[in-house]
Amino acid sequence: MINTKSGLIVCLLLIVAMTMNASSHSLWVESRDMAKVGDSQVAYSLFGHPSSSTGMYVPLMESYFLKTPDGKKLDLKMENGTWLPGFGWMNYSYCDIALDQPGDHILASIRAPGVYDPAWHGGESSPQLVCDYAKAIIHCGDKSSSDWDAGFPLEVVLDKAPYEMKAKDNLTGAIKFEGKPIKANYTAWYWTEDSNAQKGNSNENGEFDIALTKSGPWIIEASCTVDQPGNWTATYSSAHYNAGESVPYQKVWYRSTVTLWVR
């Protein structure tokens, strides 16, 4: 349970290709982004660093769902896996999904919120409630869409269909928090964080423009820190609190990803 007060919003947009900031794990989902009506395929939810299977695990999750073209949300019952080609031994969630309608489907997962304090690992104390959201778009049949909103508090809104993006294209869009555009900074990596990372600032409308320099899998992550003190009723026990305990925090850290495959 979250109890908060309105406060100052400080936003950071991270556009990340296959690897996230090394300081924290990230949540993302994957599935084939093109399908035929009637197809069945595997959907994956992963948590960790996309460039390495080390440290990947299945956190406590709030929900998994598939949003169909007619707007319905179908709850997904995931199983846990321990091996993936290209990653090796690792932990992840997966299930089969049926694509019975023409149009764009939204695969989504939401991690259960939890409090984290950098002081637990030697940093300056700043307890924050972390909320993670992830989505990917699956195009089915010939019918297209321009609305890929999963209903998250923090959304990465793309101008063009992600399944149509090609290497050398520019990825444009905006970040919205609770339905309103936000001004943000962004950084872009492909595969690894290096000196070629793209960095810049979105405008007052939250708009960004990223050069997709290479083909392959990309993960876009938006991050929004809200100065919004409150108390979280722990839904699980850890080394720092027990289930049912009221845990105070100073800020809420929203993170939202969208996965796409660049041709």
How confident is the model over 226-235, as pLDDT tens digits? Answer: 899 999 999 9
Structural domain of residue 111, as residue ranges? 2-262
Residue 133, Cβ neighbours under 10 Å: how many? 24
What percentage of the chain's residues is helix, strand, coil (to nearest 5)?
A: 5, 55, 45
Predicted TM-score (pTM) of the model is 0.89
pLDDT tens digits for 103-143?
Answer: 999 999 999 999 999 999 899 999 999 999 999 999 999 99
Amino acid at 181: P
Give how far Cα 214 sits from Cα of 94, 113, 131, 190, 242, Å.
Answer: 27, 34, 30, 8, 46
Name the domain count of the chain.
1
Asked if pLDDT for residue 168 goes beyond 50, the answer is yes
pLDDT tens digits for 23-72?
Answer: 478 899 999 999 999 999 999 999 988 777 788 999 999 999 999 999 99
Nearest of 113, 129, 131 to residue 251 by alpha carbon: 129
